[in-house]
Each structure stands twice: as C-alpha cells, then as structure tokens.
Amino acid sequence: MSFVDTLRQWDEAVTFVDEKNLPEALRIFLAIEEPNSKIYFNIGCLHLLNSDFDAAEKAFDGSIRKDEHLAVAFFQRGITFYKKERFEECLGDFTNAYKALRGNQLIDYKALGLRYKLFACEVLHNMALAEAHLGNWKNAQENLLKAQDYRTESKLNLIDKAFQSILKQKLFKLVEFTSAELFRPNKNYVKELEKKDYLGKAKIVASVIPQDKFSGFAPLQPQVQDGPVTPKEPEVFKALEGKPHIVLFEFIPETSDELAVVPGNVVFVLQKGEDNWASVVFNGRKGLVPLNYLQPLDISPTSKKPEIIPRSPSHEPPKRPKRTGDQSPNQKSRANKKLDTQSSDNCIVKIHFNFTFAIAVPLGSTYQVLINKINSKLKLETTSLTLSLTPEATEDSIIDADTDMKSVWNRAKAGHLTMWCKIYEPPHKTQICFSALYTYESSNPEDLSFREGDKIVLLSRINKEWIEGQCGENTGIFPASFVEELLIPEQPDH
C-alpha cells in the first residue's frame, strides 16, 4: 500500500471518529496493510474503548515496536495491563513511560497530531497505584513523593488524595486516557490528496520586471528587495519564545522567583542580566537560572543533532552568581526576597531526600521548628523521618529531639548547611544485595549508575528485566542482567 493510500484511509478513519462512528473507524484502520506507530496507537485506543483488552495489547505492542520512544503508547499499554490485572507488567510500562519523559514535567503531543498532554505526575501516580496492588506500599509512597515534585496546579488534588490513600494503605483511582482523541495525519499532507490541475489552461504570461530575460515553464517568483537568503523556518520554531539553551548542571532554587532545572533540560532564555542570571522559560514556567549553568543550543531545521555535553572534570557546578539589585520594581522585589532568605538570622538548608530541595530556617532554631519546616514540604509524619548530617545515618550524625542544635548550626558555612533525610525503616533480618557484573552508566535521572564490582542493595523488583536499588547514597533503577544476587544475613547483636 502506498503512502498516499495509507494517508487517505487514515484521514477517512479519523473523520468517522469525529462523527462518533467508532466501529467504522476501526474497520478502516484495520484495513491498512502497513500501519505506522501512530495508527497502531489509534487502533489500540479504539479497542481499549471497546474493552477488547487482548486486541488493545496487541495493537500497542505494534505501536511500541515501531517507535520505542513513544511514551504515551507505554502509558496506554500500562492501562491495558491494569485492566487485565497484570500489575507487574503494568508497572513496567508506566516506568518506561516515565523514563521516556526524561525528567520533563510533561509531553505535549499536539505537534504530532494528538491533542493530549502526558504529565509526569500522572504517570508516577499510576506507578504508585500499581505498586500498591503489588503490596509495595513503601515504593508507592516514594513514587507519589516524586509526583509531588512534578505536579502542576491542576494536579494538586489528584496527587494529594492519592497520597492520603497510600498512608492509609488504601487503593485509589487510576488516571486514564479515556477520550476518543487519536493521532491525526498531517493537515498539509491531507490537503495534497485533493486533485489539482497543475497545468491548467494555456496562458500568455508577460513579466512586469524590467529586463527580465527568463524563459521557460517554471512560474515567475515574487521579486522583493532585501529578501531572505535562507529558507523560512517552520512556524513551530517561530513560535518559541527566547533563545534555546541546554542545562549543564542541576540547579536548586533558593527563592520563589528561581527555577529548578536538571542536566539535559532545554530552556529558552528570555533575558540575560548583568549579574550572570538569566530569565528563562521551561515547560511553561518562568524563573531565574544562573547563566553559567546553561549552554546555547541550535534547534533550527538545518542544525545537526546536538552532541552529548561533556561533564565537567570536577563534576561540580560553577559557583552560584550573586544577585544584584536592579532599578525595576520586579527586580527590586527579587533582590529583597534574596536578602530575606540570606540575612544573618536565616540559614539555607539543602535537604537530600528522594529528590533534593532547600528550605530557609532561622539560625539557632529548635529541632521541632526544623523538622516541621521539612514536613511542610514532604507532607509526611515527622515521626516517620530520620534526619542526619551525613548520607549514612549513624549514631553521631542523626539529628533528633535530643540533639544539641547549637552544635548543628555551628556547622553552617556562609549561611548554608546540608542535611540528609530518609523515611524511617524498621530493621530487617536479612538484606538482599547484588554484585555488579558490569559497569552501568546512564544519563537518565531515574537510573542508577555503578561500576563493576559495586555492591547494590535491593529496594524493589520492577519486573523481570529491571530492579530498583541503592548504591552508596544514590538510588535508581537498573537492568537485572548487569548484576548477580547475593544474600547477606544481618550481623547478630553483641
């Protein structure tokens, strides 16, 4: 079947969908001999609406086989597995959908012909639900904590309600792609399907351009002075506000007008300040990011694929630039906020949890003030948290109600202090560990990188192919084929 025939049937099928004639649309889609990934996805969605889960699974298999980076196809197949109560496979697909988001808050598929936005917080919400069905309540809670970091204003109630259910070890409602929205063919291609008389009737054409010596069959081109010398960029590039840059280092905001970003994010710089701060847009949010954390990126149609950005030899981000006062009211307001958080009476505390965040507390605060401030961010019971001054919560580093807080605040340097926070876990009799057979390195933020011979502690088994574990102070997922399992019994108490 030719591309034109496929396009014509595709357009005809979505027309029937618009007319609410889903059976006829499905019949036409199934008649296409060589479906692409988007058409397979459409077929799967229609089967899913008809509750034909076996056929839907097969169609989404075809979609993923054609495009292994299509996050929404993994999401839909995960929903299909959930309906079939195959929760381990369901969890695996939601995990793959989250990985395909690559740390972004959402993917908007409008440019690809699908009026749908896949939100990272909704994917993590469904991952938590799958974990809950498997009885992994701790993993479910951790996924919802990640979802809180990605959620938007419109998703606040969704994540909060799910979190309350998890704390009570109760199930909650699945987020579904329930509408009949499908991938649509490119409008410009569809227009070309109409019959056109390119030759037309014979005409005598006279040039209005003086001394025009052109002769031939090609149509005359408009003649303008100072015209463009390069091809016109597509509208999608014209619509992007600001200049694109790629993020080189993780940046943790300390004031409300700064923006959190991680390596690999693409931001659009609106304005560069003289104080080495840039006003940027990322996923529809505006904020300030240090300019020396960014690198210009060429995304024009003629640009080559960007090369992988080499890491700094020290793996440390550059020094945070100072914020200077400006003349505009908005800039003065930002400077005042900065002064408020970095006054001599305040301390910026960087907290390493499942994600990293920063809080501002008065120097000399009691333990209760500190833990309550952390709890306001995490929304967890204070009794379930363990706070320490080192990655490993040892007897000397743990901070609790009996700790001399004066000695803690004396560790602050230039009004900054780093702490680690973990969910308290009762001791287990045995601990399952792995030994790394090979080195595994990944640029994905949710993956766990390690070297050959490293010891990795099991946190959860995602599916037969993927495991979640901890190596040192880092946690993440990794391929099961890269490790071998060990069983280390707990040492007896003396």
Q: Please report the pLDDT score of residue 126 as a whole number.
A: 94
Q: Which class for 475: exposed (0-12), middle (13-18), buried (19 or more C-beta within 10 A)?
A: middle
What distance lies between CA 414 and its chain's CA centroid? 33
From the number of C-beta atoms within 10 Å of its C-beta (0-12, 13-18, 19+), residue 119 rates as buried
Element (H, E) at 385: strand 385-388
Question: 38: buried, middle or exposed (CB in 10 Å: 19+, 13-18, 0-12)?
Answer: buried
How confident is the model at residue 315, as a pLDDT?
54
Give the predicted TM-score (pTM) of the model.
0.44
CATH domain 234-299 topology: SH3 type barrels. (2.30.30)
Contact 65, 77 (CB under 8 A): no
Q: Which CATH architecture has domain 3-167?
A: Alpha Horseshoe (1.25)
Same topology for domains 3-167 and 234-299, yes or no?
A: no
Q: By CB neighbour count within 10 A (0-12 exposed, 13-18 middle, 19+ buried), where does 36 fall?
A: middle
Whole-angstrom CA distances from 62 to 38, 229, 418, 466 are: 10, 43, 48, 22
pLDDT, position 431: 75
Q: Spell out the per-residue pLDDT of the chain, length 494, in tens.
A: 567 788 889 999 999 998 889 999 999 999 998 899 999 999 999 999 999 999 999 999 999 998 888 999 999 999 999 999 999 999 999 999 999 888 888 888 888 888 888 999 999 999 999 999 999 999 999 999 888 888 777 777 888 888 888 888 899 999 997 667 899 988 777 766 655 544 555 444 444 444 444 444 444 444 444 434 333 333 333 334 678 888 888 887 777 678 888 888 888 898 888 778 999 888 767 888 999 899 988 765 555 545 544 444 445 667 777 766 544 444 444 444 443 444 457 888 888 887 677 888 888 889 988 988 888 777 776 677 889 998 888 888 899 888 999 999 988 888 888 898 887 655 544 678 999 999 988 766 678 889 999 999 888 777 778 888 889 888 888 888 899 988 655 455 44
Q: H or E segment at 218?
A: none
Residue from 265, 303, 83, 282 nearest 177 by CA: 83
What's 230's DSSP letter? S
The pLDDT value recorded for residue 242 is 78
The residue type found at 471 is: C
Model pLDDT, residue 46:
93
Domain 430-489 adopts which CATH fold?
Answer: SH3 type barrels. (2.30.30)
Look at residue 422 in the predicted model and tell me its pLDDT.
84
Site of tokens 């229609």: 46
User: What is the C-alpha to C-alpha distance for residues 483 and 462, in angstroms, rounded to an integer?
Assistant: 15
Polymer length of the chain: 494
Domain coordinates in residue numbering, the chain: 3-167, 234-299, 337-423, 430-489
For domain 337-423, the question of CATH label 3.10.20.90 is answered with yes
The neighbouring-strand residues paired with 485 are 434
C-alpha closest to that of 256 among 153, 366, 356, 340: 340
How far apart (Å, rounded) are the C-alpha atoms in residues 80 and 130? 12
Please name the amino acid found at residue 339.
L
